[in-house]
Amino acid sequence: MKLESGWRDYWRKMRGTTRGSPPRVSNEEMFWSWIGAFLGITALAAAGQFLVAGSDLLLLIGSFGASAVLVYGAVRSPLAQPRNLLGGHILSALTGVVCWKLFQHVPWLVPGLAVATALALMHATRTLHPPGGATALIAVIGSPEIHNLGFWYVLAPATLGPLILLVVALLINNLPRSRRYPEIWF
């Protein structure tokens, strides 16, 4: 009897607790989010083209698109703060590279191991940044060029890229009176 009730409660949790859509943000908020994301990602792409073109290094990876959504579109979120932006990507890149180097011979295991370990380490260090999970995943499922970077992947793109996003976030997010970034540094 109790087991049956427990299962019903379990499945009921999946209904959610609130009705309706999330609140819509103002047009001004949309504008500044767009400007920030455009300038941040464009700065990364341009820096990559002009600073590291012709080398094996790169500055733009997919997880930075998700970081842009956080640091320009959710500026007050704890997940968007500098500690999380930098620490999440750096720690996750390091985790991904180590997992690849140790377990590349077990290709079905290493993606889950890298992401789960990066998640646990971000929790433990209070640097949770969801795009960091993608940074760890890219380190293990990326191209041979990504794998050949080895620990350089931690420096470029995983450190330099978020630093560029951070500089743009500091400049753009503080222009309007309605925004302030960061809420906390470390």
Q: Rounded to two decimals, what is the model's pTM? A: 0.92
CA dist 23 to 9, 20, 26, 77, Å?
28, 9, 10, 16
Q: What is the pLDDT of residues 82-138, one digit of tens each?
A: 999 999 999 999 999 999 999 999 999 999 999 999 999 999 999 999 999 999 999
CA-nearest of 167, 161, 171, 144 to 46 is 161
Residues in CB range of 116: below 8 A, 6 or more apart: none
Q: Provide the sign of the torsion angle of the four alpha carbons 177, 30, 89, 59, taken in this order.
A: negative
| Nearest-10 Cα torsion for 107, 113, 118, 121 | -150
**pLDDT attached to residue 6:** 81
Rg of the chain in Å (alpha carbons):
19
Task: Tell me which of 15 and 89 has the higher pLDDT.
Answer: 89
Q: Are 133 and 90 in contact (CB under 8 A)?
A: no
Mean pLDDT, rounded, for 27-38: 98
Q: Which pLDDT does position 14 carry in this prediction?
A: 87
* Percentage with pLDDT > 70 across the chain: 98
**For the segment 143-178, what is each residue's pLDDT rounded down to a tens digit?**
999 999 999 999 999 999 999 999 999 999 999 999
Of 48, 70, 30, nearest to 169 (Cα)?
Answer: 70
